[in-house]
Structure 1
Amino acid sequence: MSKRRLPSLSSLRAFEAAARHESVKQAGEELSVTATAVSHQIRALEEVLGIALFLRRPRQLELTSKGRELQRVLETAFDNIAHTLARLTESSDRQAITLTTTPFAAVRLLLSWVHLLGEAHPAIDLRIHASHEPVALDGMISDMAIRHGNGHWPGLVAEKLFDTTLLPACTPGLVDRCQGDISCYPLLHLRPQKALVAPMDWARYIEKTGLTTLEVEAGLAFSDESHAVSAALNGQGVILMNRQLIEDELAGGRLVQPFGLELDDHAFYLVYPEGRRDDPSMRAVREWVLSIPLPGKERHDR
């Protein structure tokens, strides 16, 4: 059998949704990504295929003849896939639910408590998808998410889990070496690629606190929180991190707050499609997440 040559599935799904809605904004809402991300996927697909799929007019998308032909084929194909998956799921005694969040949040918030879900609902197979990049909560890539942000995602239910605050943290040894000289501290930077919400960086922190003696342009940069925290624990510098995600290190004295203020940050939310609110398996996973002793849970009345 010859090898099947296809563009990326994400670009095909972005195009099909935009063509069906005649709007990149509505396509983004359906796929739980930004309109800009949808536009990038469509342009990438056009480059791969070497054809124009849309005639771009002010405030309007119009399919080309080739775009309309591709849209019809994809809509039928995706409908068939959805129907088949629904049928297979209904005929199975087991139900898989995919929950997506960032790698660090998955470790710090979820992994110690997964056994409780298995004990209460042995027929549910929880799949944890760890990524900084937002993914569609469409039942194919993922079903639910734990997101850090302002709680406003169109078409999705967002239940606040806990508020967060941001603070600088480093080892006691680094504090001893710097002896009160703020300019002595090397900074560690967190710059995740394609993150849903950009973390507060040192430049914004300095703007809010007035600590202008910090050297904001220098220092190691990481795309993942766990690597940044490991570097801080090894005495490499100061991280700017949510207190609620490093409570163990702070309580044990392995990390301390060397200077500056603790600032309010975005909250963590459990997010899922409105249309699946009453799905029994989704409801079971929701109840499990809400039962976990998350940071600050005692301070937040749900």
Structure 2
Amino acid sequence: MKRRLPPLNALRAFEAAARHESFKAAAEELSVTPAAVGHQIRTLEDFLGIELFLRLNRSVELTERARRVLPGLSASFDAMVDALSVLDDPDETNVITVSTVPSFAVKWLIPRLERFNRAYPDYDIRISASIDMADFRRDHIDCSIRFGRGVYPGLKVWKILDDTIMPAASPSLLSNEDPITSPADLARFPLVHDDSLRFDPMTPDWRSWLTAAGVDDIVDWRRGAHFSFADHALQAAIDGVGIVLARRSIAHQDISEGKLIPLFEAEQPLTMSYWFATVPEKAEQPRIIAFRDWLLAEAAE
């Protein structure tokens, strides 16, 4: 029997729009306009002779028949990506493409890569830094390092590193002031706010930290500069802008080099950790095992 398939572009537009339940989000993924997505979906609906979406006032909703076909169609596109991967340049088998968040890349991973290069000279690392979760197949990612709770369905996961948080300041900020001996002394200094983990209500910010220390009526948590990236907040503290609530993982290098000084002895553990993740079919590849084991050894050290 001769196969009679709809146009591939129409199928791609439908699969993306159905996954997101949004023409706009599908358009952003496919680098086209929402109108173009809508046109392709109407082409597919005309071809199939059925309605795939209910057009509502401000949104779209999948019909029940469209919802049933989506898993198989998504799996088919993933299978095509996997099939085409055999065409990859054989010389690329020595490359390890790692997705991670920018702050971890800059402050933790990159300063250690020279040691990986010495231990594994036959492998080359490519860093793909983004705050978004990687799509391993679409983005050609081999493995990922993420900060979270380790729940990543469909992936093989290993914990790399737990983390803590603590106040820290630059020596220059502290040099012209009386010593800080208690949290109440923070009232004399500006604060630096790291907003990168505001999505997690369990992560302490200055307000909750000062409340736990019993000085929220003495130190105004509203004061100070805000930064959306953790490494930017650390750099601001290094430059004397104020005192930051620093994550030990990404502040470690700056503390060891004397650029930041931890204040007080107590460090508060975080509920989230750093995790190494990869797709099951790559988990046993020698290059992935080598990089994973090196990460675990570095974190343990």
Report % sequence identity.
Answer: 28
Matching of residues 79-118 of structure 1 within 5 Å: 79-84=79-84, 86-89=85-88, 92-95=90-93, 96-118=95-117
The residue type paired with residue 165 of structure 1 is T
Aligned-CA RMSD value = 4.0
Counterpart pick for 2:34 among 30, 45, 48: 48
CA distance in 1, matches of 2:17, 2:161: 34
| Pair 1:284-2:285 in alignment | no
**TM-aligned CA distance change 1:78 to 1:206, over 3 Å:** same
Instruction: Find the counterpart in structure 1 of residue 168 from structure 2.
Output: 169
Kindly indicate whether the alpha-carbon contact (under 8 Å) linking 1:209 and 1:260 is maintained by their aligned counterparts in 2: no
Kindly indicate whether the alpha-carbon contact (under 8 Å) linking 2:192 and 2:243 is maintained by their aligned counterparts in 1: yes
| Pair 1:192-2:193 in alignment | no
CA distance in 2, matches of 1:283, 1:42: 39
**TM-aligned CA distance change 1:221 to 1:87, over 3 Å:** same
Instruction: Find the counterpart in structure 2 of residue 221 from structure 1.
Output: 226
Instruction: Find the counterpart in structure 2 of residue 31 from structure 1.
Output: none
Counterpart pick for 2:241 among 236, 254, 262: 236
The residue type paired with residue 273 of structure 2 is A
- Displacement, 1:251? 3.5
The residue type paired with residue 204 of structure 1 is S
- Displacement, 1:236? 0.7
Instruction: Find the counterpart in structure 2 of residue 147 from structure 1.
Output: 146
Find the structure with the greater CA-based Rg: 2
**TM-aligned CA distance change 1:82 to 1:252, over 3 Å:** closer
Instruction: Find the counterpart in structure 2 of residue 125 from structure 1.
Output: 124
Kindly indicate whether the alpha-carbon contact (under 8 Å) linking 1:190 and 1:223 is maintained by their aligned counterparts in 2: yes
CA distance in 2, matches of 1:142, 1:193: 24
- Displacement, 1:129? 1.0
SS at match of 1:93: helix
Kindly provide the CA deviation profile for residues 179-223 of structure 1, in whole angstroms up to 9, marking residues without a partner as x: 343212211112239979995322232343333023222211112
TM-score by structure 2 length?
0.69
Alignment length (residue pairs): 261
Q: What are the ranges of 5 or more consecutive residues in structure 2 without an aligned counterpart? A: 1-8, 28-32, 42-51
TM-score by structure 1 length?
0.69
Counterpart pick for 2:280 among 274, 279, 284: 274
- Displacement, 1:73? 8.9
